[in-house]
Amino acid sequence: MSSLRNAVKTQREHRERHQPQSRQHLGALEKKKDYKKRAKDQNQKKEVLKLLTKKALNKNPDEFHYHMVNSELRDGVHYERVKDEELAVGHVRQDLTYVTHRRAIERKKIEKLKAQLHLLETDSEKPKNSHILFVDDEKEAKKANPAKLLDTHPSLLNRTFNRLRTSQLSSLSRELNDPEILKNVTISKGKAYKELAKRIEREDKLRIMQEKLEVRQQLMKNKEKEGKPPKLVVEGTSTSAPVYKWPQERQK
C-alpha cells in the first residue's frame, strides 16, 4: 500500500503559485512554460545572428552574381533592371475572351464609382440639356422664381445632377454638424477614391494585355492563311502593344 501511495504522490501535477495580491499591478507572473518559450526564441535569434555574422566575415569581395548586372543604385535608391518583354501566352483566343470580359466588368465598376463620387460631371462644365419650366402666362413667368419652383437653393440651379431639395439640405446641414458623421463620410470617401484609382490602373493593364493578345491573334491568323509575314515597326513593351505593318494584298 505504501508503494501505491508513493506512486500517487509522484504523479501529482506541479502547480506554480499565482501573482500575489500586493503585486497584481505588475501584471501576470511568468511561469516556467512562458520562460521556456522566451528562452527558446532568444536562442534561435542568437543562432541566426551568429550564422549571418559568419557569412559576412567569409564573404569574398570579388564574388560575382548576375543580380549585380540586373540591378543598380540611382541617388541611393535600389532599382531592378526589368526588360520589357512581349507577352507570351499559350491559348490566345481563350485568353483574349477572358481579358475582354474582365475589362468590361472593370469599366462598369469604374463608371459606377464615378457616378457615386459625382465625377462624371462637374460644376465647371456647361450643362448638356436645358431645363424648361412652364407657367400659365407671361405675367407669372416674370414673377416666377426658379429656386422656389424647383424647391432648392439658388446656388444649385446651374447643376444638372444631384440637385438637392430644401428639406434634404436642412437635414444634411444637421448631419454635417456632427463630427462623428463627418469623419465617417471623409473616411468612406477616401476609400472610394483609392478603390477608383486601383480599378482605373487595373483596367489600363487589361487594355494593354487585350491589345497585345489581339495583335498575337492577327499574327496567328496570318500564319494559318500562309500569307506574307508582316513587318515589325515598333516592339512591344510593358506599357504598349507591338505595332506591325501588314503588306497590301490584292483581293481576288
pLDDT band of 174, cuts 50, 70, 90:
low
pLDDT band at 120 (very low <50, low <70, confident <90, very high): very low
Claim: this prediction has a pTM higher than 0.75: no
**What average pLDDT does this structure show over 212-239?**
81
User: Do the domain assignments include residue 24?
Assistant: no
pLDDT of residue 249: 73
Which of 20-29, 166-175, 230-239 shows the lowest mean pLDDT across its residues? 166-175
Q: Is residue 71 part of a domain?
A: no
Three-state secondary structure readout of the chain: CHHHHHHHHHCCCCCCCCCCHHHHHHCCCCCHHHHHHHHHHHHHHHHHHHHHHHHHHHCCCCCCCHHHCCEEEECCEEEECCCCCCCCCCCHHHHHHHHHHHHHHHHHHHHHHHHHCCCCCCCCCCCCCCCCCCCCCHHHHHHCCHHHHHCCCHHHCCCCCCCCCHHHHHHHHHHHCCHHHHHHHHHHHHHHHHHHHHHHHHHHHHHHHHHHHHHHHHHHHHHHHCCCCCEEEECCCCCCCCEEECCCCCCC
Is 131:159 a contact under the CB 8 Å cutoff?
Answer: no
Q: How many domains does the chain have?
A: 1
**Rounded mean pLDDT, 48-66:** 86
Residue 162 lies in a domain: yes
Rounded (5°) CA angle 235-238-241: 45
Name the pLDDT band for 9 (thresholds 50, 70, 90). Answer: low
Q: Compute the average pLDDT of residues 76-92.
A: 63
Query: Which has more pLDDT, 7 or 122?
Result: 7
147 backbone dihedrals φ, ψ, rounded to 5°: -65, -40
pLDDT of residue 38: 95
| pLDDT at 124 (0 to 100) | 43
| Cβ atoms 206, 99 nearer than 8 A | yes
pLDDT at 15 over 50: yes
1 found inside a domain: no
pLDDT, tens digit (0-9, with 9 covering 90-100), for 182-195: 566 667 777 888 88
Cβ–Cβ under 8 Å, residues 69 and 63: no
Q: For residue 47, is it within any domain?
A: no
Check whether 123 has a pLDDT greater than 50. Answer: no
Closest CA to 199 of 118, 96, 108, 121: 108
In this predicted structure, which of 118-127, 133-142, 149-158, 188-197 has the lowest mean pLDDT?
118-127
When pLDDT is cut at 50, 70 and 90, the band that residue 245 belongs to is confident
pLDDT of 88: 45
**231 is a domain residue:** no
Tell me which residue range forms the domain holding 99. Answer: 93-120+133-211
